[in-house]
Each structure stands twice: as structure tokens, then as C-alpha cells.
Amino acid sequence: MRTTYFTNRFLKLAAVTLAAAAAAGTGDALAKVPCGDFGECKVLVEVNASDGDIGFHFLGDGEDLLSARIKDPNNELIFFEKAAGPLADQKLTETFVESAEPVCRAELAEDPEEVVVNLVQFLTRWTPGPYRFIGKDEEGESARGRTRLTFKLPAAPRDVAFENGIVSWEAGNDLGECATSNRLAKLVADGVLPKHPKDVRVMAWEIAFEADDESGLRHELRVPGNIAVKEVAVPQEFLDALPPDTPAKIEVGAIGSTDNATFTEVGDICVNEVNGCASED
């Protein structure tokens, strides 16, 4: 499974510029959008097409809160947290949470006891529609925000490669290990998915080049979804600064209009090779 992603997607990738969003015609979908009384709130689905896992992620960015909760479209409480001790003195602001990410096919399980949740089971578990974020401060005042979960899942990038300092990829038409294009077409026909992933507009591509060693050094950026030539250069200064024989991997993600994301990973890259690389995986 991916080790850092979106542990840092909202927190580290502030490199999404308004200029890039405008160039892509994305509007506010990729910018920080006020959400009622919250500075930002989001719920989204993330698919790792290479490892074959699916997760539910959310972000709430409030101000000086003592507690925060989220309710789904059925008014069911799905998350609650409360600050205590010194954290109650310090207060809460931004909360970012990733669910567990079970594999979507039994063949991908590393242990017979491992939980498997296929795409249909995952979609059945969650309800699309408005999710309400509710926070309270020390005076009992409430902060409220609302955002929407959709099942518009962008297709996984394909033909991801790295050569001569260039990461390249192409738009895909499926969800990799989690669903073939034909399977997805049936799910659309059955009303399980609102749209085939190949028809979901990609608002941005997210690219990460990571040293697959203890340093975990990463170069990350986003580019507009409508770029004609799907490739970006990893700065030579970054590559030159890595030690000889540094194993590395790349991730390319397709980000949809509601921040749902599908990622493809490629490993076994050797940077500044002298004697050959040994991956940490």
C-alpha cells in the first residue's frame, strides 16, 4: 500500500496554484474552498489501482474547536473527536483522516485472514450525497459545513514510466486491479456507478517521485488535467542530490472534480546507479 500519499495530500501539496487551476478550467475544485463556517471540508474516495485498495478520506479545517463530528446523508454519525488535556487548551483546527484501505480482490490479499472489500461492497458501504461537518468551540458555539461525496471515480493513469528524468503517463480507462473497463461498464449499466471512470473528467494530475529508502525524499507537484503532453521533468538538482544507487518509485494520480482520486504506482527505479539498487519494499 502507498506509504505517504495522502497522509500529506492536503497538508503537503499546497503546490496547487490558482494559475494552474485556471489553466485547467478547474474553478474551485482543486483550490481551498470555504465550507460554511469551516475553512475547508472534503470527503472523497481514493483508489490505488496498482495495489488494488480503496479508501475513504476526509478533511475538516475549522478554527479553535474542542470537538468535531461528521454525519452522512442518512444523518448517521460516522466520525467524532474531542480534544482533552493540553490539546483542549491548544484547540483543534485541521483534521485529516484516512480510513483503512482493504484490498479489493482476494487474490491480492497477503494473508488468508486479510479483509477483502471489493468495489461494489465499498460503494454499498458509503452513501453519496451531502456530508455535514459540525464543530464546537469552548463556548459551545457551533461551526457547520457541508460537502458532497460522489462516486465519480477517475480512471487510473496508464503507461506510467520514468526515463531520462521524465515521468510520463497516459489517461486510462479502468481502475486497475479493482475493476476492468468491461466490469465498470456493467456497473454503470446497473446504476451502481453514475459514470464510467474513463468518462470522468480529470481536473489535475498529481505526480510524486519518491526515494524508496529511509529518507523518503519526495518531489511532488500537480499539473492541469488538460495538458496535451502528459509528462513532467523531475528536477535534475533533486536527482543529483540523491546518493548513488537510490531505489525510487513514482505515483501518478488522476484527480476528479470532487477530489476523488485514482493512483498508479511504478517502482524498481534506480537513481544514480553504480552497483544497482535494493528496494526497501
Pair 113, 209 in one domain: no
Task: Specify the CATH number for the domain of residue 116.
Answer: 2.60.40
Provide the pLDDT for residue 22: 35
pLDDT of 13 higher than 50: no
Task: Specify the CATH number for the domain of residue 189.
Answer: 2.60.40.10
Pair 187, 233 in one domain: yes
Distance CA 206, CA 47 (A): 14
- 92: cell is 483543534
- Give 45-57 pLDDT, tens digit per residue: 999 999 999 999 9
Provide the pLDDT for residue 264: 97
Higher pLDDT, 127 or 16: 127
Provide the pLDDT for residue 111: 84
Higher pLDDT, 217 or 15: 217
pLDDT averaged over every residue in the chain: 87
Higher pLDDT, 108 or 5: 108
Q: Name the residue among 142, 159, 153 with its Cα closest to residue 260.
A: 153
Higher pLDDT, 170 or 25: 170
For residues 85-111, give the mean pLDDT.
Answer: 91
Pair 13, 135 in one domain: yes
Q: Which of these three, 120, 149, 178, is where a domain ends?
A: 149
* Residues 211, 251 contacting (CB under 8 angstroms): no
Is 276 a member of any domain?
Answer: no
- Give 181-236 pLDDT, tens digit per residue: 999 999 999 999 999 999 999 999 999 999 988 888 999 999 999 999 999 999 99
- Give the DSSP H/E element, type plus range, for residue 125: helix 119-125
For residues 67-87, give the mean pLDDT.
Answer: 96
Task: Identify the band that residue 174 occupies on the pLDDT scale cut at 50, 70 and 90.
Answer: very high
Pair 56, 173 in one domain: no
Residue 50: CB atoms within 10 Å: 19
- Give 135-162 pLDDT, tens digit per residue: 998 888 899 999 999 999 999 999 999 9
Model's pTM, two decimal places? 0.85
∠ CA 171-177-182 to the nearest 5 degrees? Answer: 70
Provide the pLDDT for residue 31: 53
Q: Name the residue among 11, 260, 264, 262 with its Cα closest to residue 126.
A: 260
Residue 47 domain boundaries: 5-20+32-149
Q: Name the residue among 104, 106, 95, 154 with its Cα closest to residue 125.
A: 104
Is 79 a member of any domain?
Answer: yes
pLDDT of 109 higher than 80: yes
Distance CA 225, CA 28 (A): 14
Pair 10, 111 in one domain: yes
Q: Name the residue among 102, 129, 128 with its Cα closest to residue 116.
A: 102
State percent of the chain over pLDDT 70: 87
Provide the pLDDT for residue 226: 95
* Residues 72, 113 contacting (CB under 8 angstroms): no
Residue 142 C-alpha from the chain's centroid? 29
